[in-house]
Amino acid sequence: MRLCLTRSLALVLMTTPLVAQEDLRPTVAVLPFVNSAIGAANAELAPLSKGIADLLITDLGMNPGIRVVERENIQRLLDEQRLAQDGRVDDATAARIGKLLGAKHMVTGSFITDRSGQMVLSLKAIDSETGRIAWTHRDQGKTDDFLALVAKVAGAANTGLKLPALTPQAKAAAAERTADQKKIPFQAVMLYSRALSAQDAGQKDEAIQLFTQTIERFPDFEDARKARAKLTGGGAAR
């Protein structure tokens, strides 16, 4: 009898999957950015609220030492909580969202352009455990080099929030991504951002159409390929 019990226990141990190890990496979530553009530019650039957050999430996600909350999960929570869609939430609300998402660092920000074609990004991070502002940053660059600007502020966030340093492999991958992004014009980012807005509004067909237009016009924009593949459940084949 004892031998049978021993064998049964061994069988259970062999067939029962081990409990997943707790992910102790610092977690970062990025809210939609606030559109601070004035006049006609405000409506024109509105989709960037989603686009900047999405691109920043991707750049931050190049660091394997952290966990980044997916944009869709953040958007779902914002919809459920009936919170501002453009990221315009106060620090206390951002901290509460962070707790619900299991994210210690809640990154929020705003953007504005001027007549010379400069884009200014202002960022801050709320510590969801204390509700306090843990980091602020402001940077700017030409809209023609918009993706390089996003990559730059992602690097600043990694340093400012004292996140784990990128591994050599991650640094190489991030550098390769930055080099590829230099080929992508601002018009591509705007079209991509419109697709994200349509997706969040539940307009799946329109989102797929806009992602497809982005890919056809700007075939080097890999983010658009991945976003369309994720939405359609298909591959990212060219």
Q: What is the pLDDT of residue 39?
A: 84
84 confidence band (pLDDT: 50, 70, 90): low
9 confidence band (pLDDT: 50, 70, 90): very low
Quick check: 13 pLDDT over 60? no
What is the average per-residue pLDDT within 104-121?
A: 91
238 confidence band (pLDDT: 50, 70, 90): very low
What is the average per-residue pLDDT within 81-90?
A: 72
Are the beta carbons of 97 and 31 closer than 8 angstroms? yes
Quick check: 204 pLDDT over 80? yes
235 confidence band (pLDDT: 50, 70, 90): low
Distance, in Å, from the CA atom of 238 to the CA atom of 148, rounded to the nearest integer, reads 24
What is the average per-residue pLDDT within 29-36?
A: 95
Question: What is the assigned CATH class of domain 25-165?
Answer: alpha beta
Quick check: 147 pLDDT over 60? yes
Q: What is the pLDDT of residue 14?
A: 45
Distance, in Å, from the CA atom of 73 to the CA atom of 217, rounded to the nearest integer, reads 29
What is the average per-residue pLDDT within 89-100?
A: 92
Are the beta carbons of 78 and 89 closer than 8 angstroms? no
64 confidence band (pLDDT: 50, 70, 90): very high
pLDDT mean across residues, the chain? 88
Alpha helices in 161-221 (DSSP H): 168-181, 186-200, 204-217
Would you say the C-alpha torsion 61, 88, 193, 124 has a positive or negative sign? negative
Quick check: 20 pLDDT over 80? no
8 confidence band (pLDDT: 50, 70, 90): very low
For residue 187, how many other CB atoms are within 10 A of its CB? 12
What is the average per-residue pLDDT within 12-38?
A: 76
